[in-house]
Structure 1
């Protein structure tokens, strides 16, 4: 069982009636509900002191789940530094949907993380292209999402260490939707599904992916890392 902190801007849900109708208590609450049976969960939001991500919170977090969209630039660089340090030390990070533009994800990738998109509510088929991966445990060969936002290639990120999911959209586009990375001792998973006006985080297969991803991204014991001059 991992100690999970779910971070959410919690901006759309308070300002947009359409979003509030889908996630009345906030996306972070729905994500917490998806994970609570298998992990210890707490939440943090943008408006809290330190955005809810103090040193104490991060030190006691095994995996940080991040959802952001319209307020990326409002995240304090000091908090980004703090999160980056913890990821390099072994904390897992799961970046969801539009968090490809989050400061922390762009920092860790070292690229623009840009892509193509279209908000049309079309069909998405999420293909499992690495069925032996821990994150794909218990899934079939694909997940069908009847309404979704299109993300399309090119996706300006480094080549993933492992690619677990590829999305196909009814417009013909494809997208690398489940990308695994390591930075320092930390594991990072980018997972594309999750637009704020579609109840994608209520989908039981998507919730299984999230639970699996937390288990995969949790810190593991390894040999100690030492730096500097050696006597």
Structure 2
């Protein structure tokens, strides 16, 4: 496993690019392809990247694609409710069995992220051309490698606290905004045998996924979230009662 590339699947809705000329101008081949290019740029031969979208067969993740994915990145916004509960069940099972998941920006309200967190994942927001400063609070974490602190994003949507998530197992980045708000913008958790990372910068109205620092973070997160080398777990065992009662 260690000598083989990490199989990264970049999942995106692919909707904004078709509905909004400004988004299409920034991401002519789709936001998902720009995200994928950034991962390949910074992770190089360590990864093998493919792109899928909501409108592809099996909503982009039929069983054979999910089984061949070591790390899944997820960007969603307009169509959270269109993602089938069956797909959420299968992605959750894959994460618990060892697949990594990197959730980006408005994916905080995706069905799969809320399922894995067990909370509403609600937050405060304002879309008003804010400057975001992404501060590294855990410089020794692998996701922070090579990332400037602060990482300066001149124009971005504001995400602010309170962010209704479980306390992260590891907090890597905290953002501050020109309006004075702060936000836990880079958070890591373990779920079963899988690793989950959430990174908030990436609103569709701004060219954030062209930003070198943001691309570095997403690539680092994809590598960090990869299975550690152990094969994925089998379907969880259904335990039978022992016949002993307290």
What's the CA shift for 1:223? 9.2
Return 5+ residue gaps in structure 2 as ranges: none
Contact 2:71-2:100 within 8 A present in 1 as well: yes
1:86 aligns with 2:90: no
Question: Secondary structure of the residue that 1:159 maps to in structure 2?
Answer: coil
Contact 2:134-2:152 within 8 A present in 1 as well: yes
Measure, in 2, the Cα distance between the counterparts of 1:73 and 1:197. Answer: 21
Q: TM-score, normalised by structure 2?
A: 0.90
1:28 aligns with 2:36: no
Partner of residue 16, structure 1? 20
Measure, in 1, the Cα distance between the counterparts of 2:147 and 2:112. Answer: 29
1:42 aligns with 2:50: yes
- Larger CA deviation: 37-46 vs 169-178: 37-46
Match of 1:210 among 212, 218, 228: 218
What's the CA shift for 1:141? 2.2
Deviations 1:123-169 (A, max 9, x none): 01000000000000112321000000000000000000000000000
Larger radius of gyration: 2
RMSD: 1.7
Change in CA separation of 1:204 and 1:85 when aligned onto 2, cut-off 3 Å: same
Match of 2:126 among 86, 98, 118: 118
Contact 2:148-2:213 within 8 A present in 1 as well: no
Question: Secondary structure of the residue that 2:130 maps to in structure 1?
Answer: strand
Partner of residue 159, structure 1? 167
Contact 2:70-2:99 within 8 A present in 1 as well: yes
**Deviation >6 Å, runs of 4+:** 223-226
Q: TM-score, normalised by structure 1?
A: 0.96
Partner of residue 157, structure 2? 149
Partner of residue 11, structure 2? 7
